[in-house]
Amino acid sequence: MALSEKDKKGVILIASVVGALLVVVAIKLAIGTPLKPGLDGCVGKVTANTVIVLDHSETLTEQTRNEIAARALTHVREKSQTNERVTVFYVSDLSKKSLVPAFSRCKQKEEGNRAYEDTRGLEKAFKRGFIEPLQAALKTAPVNGKESPVAQALVDISLTQYLRGERNSLLIFSDMLEHTPKFSLYTCVDSKRAVALFRESRKGTQERPQFKHTSVSLNMIPRLDVSKQTLKCRDQVWEWFFGDNEGAGARSNIDYLPGT
């Protein structure tokens, strides 16, 4: 019996729906069952890390703080990949004995395929679960402290899981004027002697970081109340400090921040 035009349209419609469902099922089978993220938003093994170190030992101008947040967010948005762990540390008086992350989560997926994913849900989860907490951590205002144990904090962080991936980025925002009872760069005039004194202060523990596959970006907070001789000496000390970096992607660069 021949089908009517109405029946033919019905058959075509049913066939189209069934075909679409089969395509969705095929896609899901090809993708497999996705792993669920942990409490830190990380899925499975984390192979890449971004660590942001903020020097909170002294107050900063508003323009300096704004630029720090802008640079850090730009790096995370443009250079960090999905499921890369992003961690923020503060350096202050407390970090000598309590160096814990102010923020540490894996970058969530921001975009998806509209054919089989809830793209709006992904965008909302990315914003609320990752970007907004990260922004809050970056905008926390520093306060004046008695010490600035930047070097100790960097050595300690280099020994943790946060910088031991197959690819790592380290962003430091500081004036890099190390100042503790054991060692200070405030009166640095001879870099060789300063390095020797620093190594003596680190006796019995690791002297400087041993980085692997790490890109180091040093963002200098300007200090106009320090002599040129001290600043030159400081720069030479840190050149030695960051001198042990091997592997793919290992490099370092210095950039300056606005403000005084």
**Residue 30: per-residue pLDDT:** 53
Residues 228 and 239: their CA atoms lie apart, in Å, by: 17
pLDDT value at 60 more than 80 = yes
Q: What is the pTM of this model?
A: 0.84
DSSP-assigned states of every residue in 37-101: P-TTS--S---EEEEEEEE-SS---HHHHHHHHHHHHHHHHHHPPTT-EEEEEEESGGGGT----
Residues 110 and 89: their CA atoms lie apart, in Å, by: 24
Per the prediction, the chain carries an average pLDDT of: 88
Q: Which residue has the higher pLDDT, 80 or 225?
A: 80
Encode pLDDT of 26-58 as tens digits.
555 555 556 777 888 899 999 999 999 999 999
Query: Which tokens hold the place of 72?
Result: 């850090």
| Interval 67-78 mean pLDDT | 97
pLDDT value at 255 more than 70 = yes
Torsion of CA 77, 39, 94, 215, to 10 degrees: -40
In this structure, the strands spanning 103-106 and 85-91 are antiparallel
Domains of the chain by start residue, with CATH: 48-256 (3.40.50)
Encode pLDDT of 5-15 as tens digits.
666 566 566 66
**Residue 121: per-residue pLDDT:** 73
How would residue 18 be classed by pLDDT, with cut points 50, 70 and 90?
low
The percentage of residues in the chain with a pLDDT greater than 70, rounded to a whole number, is: 82
Using an 8 Å Cβ cutoff, are 45 and 79 in contact? no
Encode pLDDT of 123-182 as tens digits.
888 999 999 999 999 999 988 888 999 999 999 999 999 999 999 999 999 999 999 999
